[in-house]
Structure formats: C-alpha cells, structure tokens
Amino acid sequence: MGIIPKMHVANVGGNKARYHSSTVASSFDFGISKDDLATVEGLERIRTLIDRLTLPSGASIGMRDIFGGLSDITRTMPNMAPLLPLIFRVDPRVSFSLHNYAQFVPLYNREIPPERLLLAGRQVGKTANLCTNSLLIASIVPSFKQMYVTPLFEQTKRFSMNHVNRMLRHTWLGKAIFDPAKCEHNVLQKSLMNDSRLTFSYCFSSTDRARGADADSLTADEIQDIDSDALKVVRECMSGSKIWRFATYAGTGKTTDNTIEILRLRSSQGEWMIPCRSCRKENIASVAEDMMGMIGPRGLKCAKCGYSLSTRDGKWVHKFPDRVTVFPSWHLPQPIMPQHCENARAWRELLEKLKHDKATHFRNEVLGEAADAGSKLITLEAIKKASSLPFKNTRREALKRRIDMRNSYIGIAIGVDWGGRGILEDSFTAYAVTGLRTDYRAEVLFATKSPPSVNNMDEIIYAISLFKQFRADCIGFDYRGAGEVKDTMFVQRGMTKYLMPWVNESTLARYFAKLKRSPTNRRYVSINRGAAIQLLAHELNGGRVFLPQFEQDSTQNMFLDLNSWMDNYIARPDGTNLYQVLKSACQPDDVGWAIIYSLFSLYRRKQHWPTYMSSLTERGIIEAENKDDDGDDD
C-alpha cells in the first residue's frame, strides 16, 4: 500500500543483542473491555460514538455519520486494537478482545506495510484475527477491495461462513453497513453498503479463479500449501490498485524449502521475547533460541534459571529491524499464547504432544516452525546416479554424442520452458535437447538456461539453432501466456510442422493429457501437471532417463532444477489427505519442464508412452478432440 508504518525500533541489548524491539504493541494493554475505557485515548469521542450505535431499536442512525465518526477516531490512533471490543462480537454476549491475544496487536496498526507475515502454530487465533482485520479495514475505507485466498475450497468456505458471517451477524458493524437484501452475500463474495468488497477464492487446482479479479489487498492463508508460482499469479490481482497494494500472508511452518519459510527469511523475523524477572534473561520464543528451554512442567519458565515466566511481560523483537517497515513477520507458537500457557489442561496436552508426537509434527503444528526439507520426488542422489553419460553438459560435447550415436536414436526433440519471474526472481528460459534411443530409454544431451529476453526473437532463434544443429524432429514448448506469442514467431519462421505446444495444468484430475484448441483455433496438448512430474521422476529414478556428467559447481549444474519438486499433503475437513506436487520456493524448476516437454514430445510423436503413465490417472491420454463429455475436475 502507499502508507509505510512509522514503527520506532531500538536495541534490546543484553544477551540477545541481534534482536531489536518495537515500541508498538509490546504489551497486553490493548486487550480492553468496555469497563476499561478510562485507559483509552480519545475516551469521550469513543463513548459518544458507542452511545450513537446503541440507540433503541428503530432509532434513525445515519451510516455516513457513524463511519465519519469512526474514521475521525482512527485517523488519530496509531493502532486500532482498542476499538475491537467496541465493534466486534463473537456472539451476542461476548465482545471480541485481544486480552488473550496481544501478540496480534501489530496486525491492527493504522499504517500497513507492503507485505506482512503471520507464522503461527495451530489454534492461536490466527484466522479470527485475519477476519476482524479484514472487516475493520473494509468498514473504515469505502470502496476497498480485498481478496482472500486459500489452497482448498473447504478452507475458503469455512472462513467465509464460520468467521465472516458470524462477525457480520453478531456485531453492530454488520447491522450498520451490511444489508443482505442490498449487499452481495454468498460464499465467495460479500459486499458492504460503503461499496467495500471481500472476494474469497482458492487455488489448489488452478489459479484461473484469481485471474482477472481486482483487489487493493491480498490475504493468503495456509500459504504453506500454496505453490510459489501460484502465489506470483495471485498477487497480480493487486497490480491495478493505485494506492494500497499490501499483502498479508499467514500459515503454519512445514518444510525448510516451503513458500512460507522463504517468505519468513525475507521478512523481519519477529519473535516474542519474555524477560525473566529473576535473572533478567531475555527469553526468545523460537527453537533456534530458547523455546524448548522455556517449556516447563507447569507453564513457561526461564531457559536460564528456571524462574516462572509470564507471557504478558513479553514484547516483539525483530532480528532485522530495518525490514519492519516493509515486511514485518510475527512468529506465534502455542506456548506463548495465554489460552495455552495459562490453562492447566491445555498445557498438559501440550506436554503430551511434546512427549509422544514426532518431533517434526510438534515443531510444525504446535510451534509453527519449519522442521526439515520436503520429500523430494527426484533426490540429489538420484540425479547423481542418472548423470552417467560419458560427457559434460556442453553444446560441443553433446553434438559430438549426437553424431557418434546417430544410429542409436529414433528421435531427437528440443524442449523450451519460457522464463518468467519466480518468488526469488530466479526463473529463466530453459532449453533441453533429448534423444530417445531404440530401447526407448532417453538421454538428455544438453540443457541450458538464459535470462528472459526483452527481444523474443532472440529466444526463438536460439531454439531453432539447436533444432537445426542437432537435427531434431520436433520442438516441444510451453504454450501458456507468452508461449502463444512465441508460437506465432515460430510459425513465421517456417517451423509449423515441427512444433508441439504443451500446457501444464492442475485441473486435469481424470486425464494424463488431452488434446485441446485455443481461442485462436491452435491445437495444443494439455497435460496433468502433477502426473507429468511423477512420470518423469519414475523414469529417471528407474534408470530410464540419463543425464550428462554431474557438475559439482551448483551454479553450473542445470539439472539441479530436477530436485525442485516435492510431495505435499493437505489435510481436508473430512480427515482425508489431498496429495499435490509442489515446487520448492527456493529452487527453480525450469530445466525440469524443458526436459518434460522434449521427452513427452518424443513419446507422443512415437506413440510410445511408459506403462507407468496409465496408473497415474483414470483415463490416460485423449488424443481425439470433442470428448469432454464430463469435463475436467476443477
């Protein structure tokens, strides 16, 4: 967004000098009730506003006057947490308060940074605070458009129905600016009478739902299960906003190469620090610092002297204070939350989890931290084993291999994956030259990458030069987005009969691949993204795909991109797990897709697919058109 927060930071000192504390929202003082209003700045104005909102039923209250008064108050408040008990109710008799959730106070700062991250354990109040924060902004800023996205529809539906609907139903906010007869009120979109809008979406199988949607802000929840490339697409919903453009990410840590962990490393890395009243040690609630030593038999204790700690003495400290104004993050493990550390039964349950659960599960679900690397479909050891060809990955040596083994190949294909911009700005245009031998085993002769070119023709000329020099049979390439333009340029260069366009999609749940037509009547093959990666992994791990000699220099080894894909499981509300293949957020997969396009082009051209392919999907490959009798799964 356009306003950057003025958060004053100072060195904490002591034994944790590399962490810095923020003077904003460092205590539980904002968790007020209506009886505590004497401590609130602007008491008389707030009381006047509340009196106007609690007039007898049927009294006339001008909505513009109500929110004019609310806006006047918020302009003078650096943080809007004191207003929450006065505005929101979780049910008709209970106000929403941060009395036991003071760690969330910075979320309600009036000035919002471009990005912010909540890294939380389970059941710490994350979703409820995301809901109130979204509704508070929507009520104060007229015509404000928000996008809320999760991986699964069930998660989005639960947020919309169980949280947003409940807040609108029980609070004066809903009664004042939400009229079901006049406002949009469905699971995936809600509007308020001040023209603010909340759009809810999900992106497990496809990001197409988010394409074309416009928003001033984005809230991405359960972001640990959102692919880093999908996040890049979803963020584009804010590209048309003239002023705001701020994103809020939230989720639970999983693996060290997950999207949420990469975002955390970019952020300020805020941790909750509780000073010991006895030895004055500053206990920082992260596994890398003092968290495990702070878990005592009856509650929190000092990791140094064992003295009892009160989480209400805590405050936020940031490892990188210079990032607080642009990308703050807050780590929220269960042990620092009062509903866990001040409740004897909850604490006993936490200790049982520590004793009996797997260490990775405890660290993920309870402490909200990344535990280990994801389970890779193609491991580094598998890449080394497959790198058995007797030459290095250079164009000269690959061409020599092509000439020497010319009678051993039944087909040669060029694969191209056009470059973009990944979450780490590391996505490049990748090229692969693959040969299919007479025994139907494949050799990847050469692979390389180049930065995305401003001049598209440079990439086309390079791909054609590979095609001619290696005497290839076809060129398989990514047809999505810029691929349509590149396809036209290929055609203009007289390459029509050698082209094989591909589109990898997550929506082909029943099919491995299907022949389709674009709006311009161009035929292309749509391929199941997860199944395609699994097939390549199966062939390479099974010794049927070979690579050039392994290059020890990681900056020069193109084939490390194959190590990017990993298994991921998402827990569904019905107790089942949904399987997906994710790309590591800290590693590109460009060369991997170039190999897939080249290898699969050969399989399709020779009409000889590995038998394992038929076990990956229900219906295999549909080469004929007009057979969408039941459509694709969404």
Tokens of 560: 């490390």
The domain ranges of the chain are 23-98, 112-268, 270-318+333-374, 380-622
Q: What residues are paired with 185 via a beta bridge?
A: 190
Is the model's pLDDT at 48 over the cut of 60? no
Crossing angle for the helix pair 590-606 and 529-541, to the nearest 10 degrees: 90
The better pLDDT of the pair 155, 552 is held by 155
Q: Can you tell me whether residue 401 is helix, strand or coil?
A: helix
Confidence band of 358 (pLDDT split at 50, 70, 90): confident
pTM for the structure as a whole:
0.70
* Strand 545-546 to 442-450 pairing: parallel
Which of 140-149, 429-438, 441-450 has the weakest average pLDDT?
140-149
Tell the residue number behind the tokens 């059941």, with chain if given. Answer: 123
pLDDT tens figures, 78-126: 888 887 877 787 777 777 888 889 899 999 988 889 999 999 998 898 9
Question: Which helix (H) or strand (E) covers residue 380, if one does?
Answer: helix 380-386
State the Cα–Cα distance between residues 61 and 441, nearest whole angstrom.
77
- CATH superfamily, region 112-268: P-loop containing nucleotide triphosphate hydrolases (3.40.50.300)
Q: Can you tell me whether residue 382 is helix, strand or coil?
A: helix
Which of 3-12, 18-27, 103-112 has the weakest average pLDDT?
3-12
State the Cα–Cα distance between residues 612 and 544, nearest whole angstrom.
12
Crossing angle for the helix pair 63-75 and 43-53, to the nearest 10 degrees: 160
Arithmetic mean of pLDDT, 456-462: 89
| Model pLDDT, residue 453 | 63
Establish how many alpha carbons lie within 13 A of residue 2's alpha carbon, considering only the half-sphere containing its beta carbon.
Answer: 5
**What is the 3 state secondary structure string of 330-360?**
EEECHHHCHHHHCCHHHHHHHHHHHHHCCHH
Arithmetic mean of pLDDT, 527-547: 92
pLDDT tens figures, 360-379: 889 888 999 887 655 788 98
Cα 3–130–192 angle (5° rounding)?
Answer: 80
* CATH of the structural domain 380-622, one choice from 3.20.20.70, 1.10.1040.10, 3.10.20.600, 3.30.420.240: 3.30.420.240
| Model pLDDT, residue 27 | 34
Most confident of 33-47, 169-183, 433-447: 433-447
| Model pLDDT, residue 545 | 96
Confidence band of 57 (pLDDT split at 50, 70, 90): very low
| Model pLDDT, residue 12 | 26
Is the model's pLDDT at 296 over the cut of 60? yes
State the Cα–Cα distance between residues 355 and 344, nearest whole angstrom.
17
